[in-house]
Amino acid sequence: MNTNFNLLHRPVTSAAELKAVQRSQETLLNCYCREVAAPNGELAVGPIFAQNEWPMSVKLILQQKGGLTMEILLPHTAERLLTVVAFQSATGNYRYRSPVFHKAQNRPWALLEDDKLANVLLRELSQKYDLPPNTELMEQIHNSVNMTTLALSLPVNENFSDDPAEAYIDSEQSLTFGHPFHPAPKSRQGFSDDNLMRYSPEMRTCFPLHYFAIRTEDIRQESLLPESCSEVVARTSPLLEPGFAAMPTHPWQAEYLLGLPLIRQALESGRMRYLGEQGQDFYPTSSIRTLYQPNNPYFYKFSLNVRITNCVRKNAWYELESAMQITRILRPLLNQLYATFDGMRVLEEPAFMSVDLCDADSEANKQVIEGFGMILRQGFDNLLLPQTKPILAGALFGNHVYSEHRLRRLVENIATREAKPLNVVIEQWFTKYLKLILHPVLHCYFAHGLIFEPHLQNVVIGIQEDWPRQTFLRDFEGVKLVRERYHTDQLRGISDRARDSLWYSSEQGWNRISYCLFVNNFCEAISQLAPDQPDQQQRLWQLVRHSLQEYQALHGNTASAQRLNALLSGQPFPAKTNMINRFFKRADRNASYVPVTNPIAFGGVFAWN
């Protein structure tokens, strides 16, 4: 089988690109070790022993910096990889201390320069699964490196502004590196280099929206607010004559829409008008398509026909319906939830709108509906406590060295101000965070059958005097319902497609919550709070254990006892297989999971030996 990726290989040409490629290599190793090498017994981490064949460079690095060797076997290509890591990590959150070395069959060890690691790993996967080369994934990796290179041109501030809006924008727009366990965390297929500069949040950008004037009979919308969605949007839109409503779009999406045949016909006939750029600036958040405007009570979540990491980010009609249905279900529960968990808040999605031309060509008409679809998401007004700054969790836990420095600054400020030992402050800080996020997410699942996705881009932390004081859960696209709890008659008024998209089995829901909480969120938080400190990391995991026990004592039921006892006994965490998912081009909903060592249990045995 031909598995040659050389046509996609390119040399590194700048210091910024070298740094971007280095981080790309680390995330590729993260993914491959967690998803393939470790589960298949092809990973060894330990001291050098008497491996005389290993490169002298590796031995020198071990002498100078300390650490352990990591060797990865690639049995289908008969090759090996070698690097140096800081210490043995139970959860695979390794810190790398050397470049990656590669040994092909009958050839000496060689430094893997540029972006050749992706070639090596994808060639191994192709032979393992007897599939042709996944050139799309290789292109996504290159795309991600390109975006990271651009982002590295702008430094990240070590301190957040005292102004809540400025601090929030900074946190959303500072994710230089992105997801530490995704093969292409900054991939944006569909954006040109000019688009990346103009619309990527990492470039600290902002821009006005583009508008279309749409006949009111062509607007489809729903709202749980006192006003319709179009009336809310009209407050920041150009004034139009009666009979027309202003439809905002992301500026990139406006150009896409103008290229659709049905839109061109509607413009030529006068059925709609393109109004171009209008109004004040909005700021792209980390999701790219959800935009924020200070003093606007709502975020605007737009369709964007760009493949961002795994998915094309358009708002299908069933997704608009689903967001509204989750809001309907949540509203009667919120007062009780807020009374029980006073630091928890949910950013509702109470209205949406789109354009429906009712054309006989159903596919062309669907393109228009999906292309215009937008959702209103509740902002922080009336939710944020005084003297509190909303900070994206990913800006503290999920952005490699930048988030580590920022988080360190917060806890050091507290330690200095309150005259406490730093390790004590770190443990107190994490304890407060656990109670703010772990308890309400578990309760929504066990008591109400609601499945949140509390990963690092769906959690905003309210920081007050450097301590975590609030958590905000967002993005109803990922919120699901336990099928055993919500039957068909409880989901009337929405389409079959929307209803089916909302249902997860109890097992699916638990896997998703466990992955988002324990792997995507807590593994990263602990790694950033105690970098290169395995003993303190284990103490932080014992705080997770205590928080689980506390939840069960205060709020638990029979169902939670069964799940939590399994975790306390050492049942592995489920980790989403982002690399394998992309390799097989699967929809995100169909992603598989692999077991990751659970460090909560006392005396737990590491599975990464």
pLDDT (tens digit, 9 = 90+) per residue, 258-291?
999 999 999 999 999 999 999 999 999 999 999 9
> Could you give the 3-state DSSP secondary structure of residue 213?
strand
Type of residue found at 311:
C
pLDDT at residue 588 tops 90: no
User: Would you place residue 604 in the very low, low, confident or very high pLDDT band (cuts 50, 70, 90)?
Assistant: very low
* Average pLDDT of the segment spanning 564-568: 96
Chain centroid offset of residue 392 CA: 11
Q: What is the pLDDT of residue 586?
A: 83
Burial class (CB in 10 A: 0-12, 13-18, 19+), 48: middle
Q: Strand pairing partners for 562?
A: none
Q: Are strands 351-355 and 290-292 parallel, antiparallel or unpaired?
A: unpaired
pLDDT (tens digit, 9 = 90+) per residue, 124-153?
999 999 999 889 999 999 999 999 999 999
Mean pLDDT of the residues in the chain: 92
- Strand ranges (DSSP E) for 11-154? 43-46, 68-74, 79-85, 101-103, 110-111
Farthest CA pair distance, the chain: 82
Can you tell me the distance from the alpha carbon of 155 to that of 158, in angstroms, rounded to the nearest whole number? 9
Listed range (230-244, 282-296, 485-499) with the worst mean pLDDT? 485-499
Can you tell me the distance from the alpha carbon of 138 to that of 399, in angstroms, rounded to the nearest whole number? 22
Can you tell me the distance from the alpha carbon of 389 to that of 368, in angstroms, rounded to the nearest whole number? 38
Q: Are 14 and 149 in contact (CB under 8 A)?
A: yes
* Secondary structure of 534-596 in HEC code, one letter for each residue: HHHHHHHHHHHHHHHHHHHHHHCCHHHHHHHHHHHCCCCEEEECHHHHHHCCCCHHHCCEEEE
* Average pLDDT of the segment spanning 4-27: 74
User: Would you place residue 2 in the very low, low, confident or very high pLDDT band (cuts 50, 70, 90)?
Assistant: very low
Q: Tell me the pTM.
A: 0.93
Q: What is the pLDDT of residue 230?
A: 97
Residue labelled with tokens 């489809």: 220
Q: What is the pLDDT of residue 603?
A: 44
* Average pLDDT of the segment spanning 565-594: 90
Can you tell me the distance from the alpha carbon of 214 to that of 245, in angstroms, rounded to the nearest whole number? 5
pLDDT at residue 609 tops 50: no
pLDDT (tens digit, 9 = 90+) per residue, 166-220?
999 999 999 999 899 999 999 998 899 899 999 999 999 999 999 999 999 999 9
* Average pLDDT of the segment spanning 541-548: 97
Q: What is the pLDDT of residue 122?
A: 95
Token readout for 192 is: 């040109």
Can you tell me the distance from the alpha carbon of 462 to that of 590, in angstroms, rounded to the nearest whole number? 33
pLDDT (tens digit, 9 = 90+) per residue, 337-350?
999 999 999 999 99
Percent of the chain residues topping a pLDDT of 70: 96
Q: What is the pLDDT of residue 607?
A: 33
Q: Are strands 389-392 and 459-464 parallel, antiparallel or unpaired?
A: antiparallel
In the chain the domains, ranked by start, together with CATH numbers, are: 6-139 (no CATH), 206-339+358-378 (no CATH), 389-568 (1.10.510.40)
Q: What is the pLDDT of residue 606?
A: 36
> Could you give the 3-state DSSP secondary structure of residue 346?
strand
pLDDT at residue 608 tops 70: no
